[in-house]
Amino acid sequence: MKNKEEYKNTFLALAVCIEARIPVILWGPPGQGKTSVLNSIAEKQSRTMETLLASIREPQDFAGLPSVVNGRANLVAPDWAHRLSEDGNGILFTDEVNTAPPSVQAALLRVCLDRVAGDCELGEMTSVVAAANPPELAADGWDLAPPLANRFCHLQWQLPPEIVSQGLTGSWPDFELPEKLMDFDKVLEEEKAIVAGFISSRPELTTVIPDGSGEQGRAFPTPRSWEMVATLLAHAKCWNLSDGVMRFLVSGSIGQSAGIEFLNYRNNLDLPDPDMVLRGAESFSFPERADQTYVILAGAINLAERRAPDEDSWNSAGTLLERVVAAGHPDIAVASSKRWLSFRPEGASPNPELLSALVPLMKEAGLI
């Protein structure tokens, strides 16, 4: 976390995972206030929280104590599991998971995946949160085994100096989640459709097992983690959370490589359809970000070119260029206008006002 904004985004991403009941793991050195943040979330939502140190636990603390009753072996669950099961809506927090021996990690797998400890079911509504020290920092840290790593959304957790000095002199910042604005099930369907669309265009990213140069024991794409992405994004969208939060959720689930490409695809889907832009040229309002204006304009002009020699499309594209100039981006208009002029239908002529706005700039840039 580089600054306060990243801290806020990470905090909200954590809150989304807890709400979505998707297991989340916080990576960071000790002493970063992970437990206190979780305590405050649990308290605010009036949920039971159980904190366990995985490194000093034994496999049977998660898998249940074997006990023979009437000739049948039971796996007796420890007390914490029963407390969570009775609450039905609690938070299980396991710290130092990667310094736990492999057999303990293996036992944890079932708790995280099925929310079952021994013979005790914790219930669907129990949230699972874990924390780990980066292996190079831990005294005898292990990489997480890939099957366990793939079940978590991974978030980096290291307090930026800004937050620490604010916390020491006043109060540690706390962020509230707004009310949910949209119908979750409907949004989830949309997000699943986006993920499905992306996977069909990039099938090789469906499953990518990390190799020698990537980060082992962290997030990587599999059908399971793609489904996590859809669920997490649907929650984030219902809360109207920022792009920064979504970035953390996506790269935390499928890793940065696939994450960047997926988010770029998803952002481009958000851009308006070129046909709609051309038809509504008179009233179309360009977005705040100039780089998006560039992409939208280029897309619309592409479409008009494909429809050449259709005079209406050519004129609409001209209207768009005028509007881009009026919005204060004459250079963006110039970048596309050369192409626009190249497919001018016979008899059509550009608006003289547009030309008088563009020509001096084209001359200055040495284009004419």
| Residues making contact with other proteins (CB under 8 A) | 2-3, 5-6, 9, 58-60, 65-69, 76, 101-104, 135-136, 138-143, 211-216, 242-244, 247, 256-257, 260-261, 263-264, 267, 288-291, 293-294, 329-332, 334-335, 360-361, 364-367
Q: Which is nearer to other proteins, 93 or 286 (CB)?
A: 286
3-state class of 127 per DSSP? strand
Instruction: Answer yes or no: are the C-beta atoms of 153 and 252 closer than 8 Å.
Output: yes
**Minimum CB separation from other proteins for residue 55, in Å?**
11
Q: Which is nearer to other proteins, 8 or 307 (CB)?
A: 8
**Minimum CB separation from other proteins for residue 217, in Å?**
8
Per-residue CA distances from 173 to 1, 18, 52, 59 (Å): 14, 19, 25, 37
**Minimum CB separation from other proteins for residue 5, in Å?**
5
Q: Which is nearer to other proteins, 279 or 329 (CB)?
A: 329
Q: Which is nearer to other proteins, 242 or 351 (CB)?
A: 242
Report how far residue 254's alpha carbon sits from residue 252's, in angstroms, rounded to the nearest whole number.
6
Report how far residue 297's alpha carbon sits from residue 364's, in angstroms, rounded to the nearest whole number.
22
Instruction: Say if strands 24-27 and 120-121 run parallel, antiparallel, or are unpaired.
Output: unpaired
Which run of H or E residues covers position 338? Answer: helix 330-342
Instruction: Say if strands 49-53 and 91-95 run parallel, antiparallel, or are unpaired.
Output: parallel
**Minimum CB separation from other proteins for residue 125, in Å?**
30
Q: What is the DSSP string of 41-108?
A: HHHHTT--EEEEEGGG--HHHHH-EEEEETTEEEEEPPHHHHHHHHHSS-EEEEE-GGGS-HHHHHHH
Look up residue 23 and give its DSSP letter: -
**Minimum CB separation from other proteins for residue 293, in Å?**
7
**Minimum CB separation from other proteins for residue 240, in Å?**
13
Q: Which is nearer to other proteins, 125 or 341 (CB)?
A: 341
Neighbour count for residue 323 (Cβ, 10 Å): 19
**Minimum CB separation from other proteins for residue 126, in Å?**
25
Q: Which is nearer to other proteins, 38 or 152 (CB)?
A: 152
**Minimum CB separation from other proteins for residue 86, in Å?**
23
Q: Which residues contact 221 (CB under 8 A, 6 or more apart)?
A: 205, 206, 207, 208, 254, 255, 258
Q: Which is nearer to other proteins, 113 or 335 (CB)?
A: 335
Hey, which residues does 117 pair with through a beta bridge?
Answer: 120
Q: Which is nearer to other proteins, 223 or 360 (CB)?
A: 360
